[in-house]
Amino acid sequence: MTLLIALGLFVVAFAAGVLNAIAGGGTLLTFPALVAAGVPPIIANATSSVSQWPGYVASSLTFRHQLSGQRQMLGMSLASLGGGLVGGALVTVVSPQLFDMLIPWLILLATLMFAGSSQLIRWLGAHAASVGRSRGGLLAGQFLVAIYGGFFGGGMGIMMLALYSLFALDSLPRMNALKTWLSVLISGVAVLTFIVAGLVDWHAALVMLAGTILGGIAGARLAQRLSAQWLKRAVVALGCLLTLAFFWKVYH
Q: Which residue has the higher pLDDT, 206 or 158?
A: 206
Q: Which residue has the higher pLDDT, 130 or 90?
A: 90
Average pLDDT taken over every residue of the chain: 84
How much is the pLDDT for 205?
94
| Phi and psi at residue 58, to the nearest 5° | -60, -40
Among 183, 216, 176, residue whose Cα is nearest residue 66: 176
How much is the pLDDT for 1?
79
How much is the pLDDT for 177?
80
Please give the torsion angle defined by the CA atoms of residues 181, 161, 59 and 24, in that order, rounded to the nearest 10 degrees: 140
Q: How many domains does the chain have?
A: 1
Alpha helices in 23-95 (DSSP H): 27-36, 41-62, 73-93
* Range of weakest confidence among 127-141, 169-183, 228-242: 127-141
Q: What is the mean pLDDT of residues 48-57?
A: 87
Q: Tell me the pLDDT tens digit for each residue of 10-51.
A: 999 998 888 777 766 788 889 999 999 999 999 999 999 999
Q: Which residue has the higher pLDDT, 195 or 120?
A: 195
174: containing domain: 3-251
The pTM score is: 0.83
pLDDT reading at 228 higher than 70: no
